Structure 1
């Protein structure tokens, strides 16, 4: 696996862990698990052909990585009941966007 891809996967675990620890320490494992559920939006990769293309930016390409979907994730981050999931989804797409930037360098 190339270094960029390895870093990308590590960040998808480390950043939610740090956020859960910093914001929800008293219920760290629950918050961390809910944020990790954000990876489920990568199921939209199964709609692409090929499913995995190392040089493809997922932002704007996959349905759950588009602006309307990201808007819904932002709305989910507002109410207390869905805030952790919304944060996890926003972190996920932010890390995917960072990966797109890294691909271009």
Structure 2
């Protein structure tokens, strides 16, 4: 594995697992551990990869390809974020889904740069 691929993988998974802890701690300090678990739970959105053939393609950008990573889905996540009561589970889930899409988008951009 090339050094650039190792860096990209580290950034990708760091954003998926560690950054949500920071988001939870900064914005929901009184219950950050529970919020972090909810944010990690939103990674189940990646189950839509099981519908693709091949299931994993390191050169494929998830955003805009997989069903739950589609632009329509992203707009729906954003609408939920805007209308859900701040701090509610639904609001936190929408934050997690939107951050997941941002992380995958960053990964797509890094894939074209590295």
In 1: Cα distance, 2:77 partner to 2:23 partner: 17
Q: Of residues 67, 72, 91 in structure 1, which corresponds to 2:99?
A: 91
Instruction: Give the TM-score normalised by the residue count of structure 2.
Output: 0.87
Tell me how far 1:24 sits from its aligned partner: 0.2
Q: Which residue is 1:33 aligned to?
A: 37
List, as ranges, runs of 4+ consecutive aligned residues in structure 1 with deviation greater than 3 Å: none
In 1: Cα distance, 2:41 partner to 2:80 partner: 14
Where structure 2 has 5 or more consecutive residues not aligned to the other structure, the ranges are none
Matched, 1:42 2:46: yes
Root-mean-square deviation (Å): 1.1
Q: Of residues 12, 16, 19 in structure 1, which corresponds to 2:20?
A: 16
Instruction: Give the TM-score normalised by the residue count of structure 1.
Output: 0.94
Tell me how far 1:75 sits from its aligned partner: 1.9
Query: 1:27-69, CA deviations, whole angstroms, 9 ceiling, x for partnerless residues?
Result: 0111111111110110000001111111110011001001110
Where structure 1 has 5 or more consecutive residues not aligned to the other structure, the ranges are none
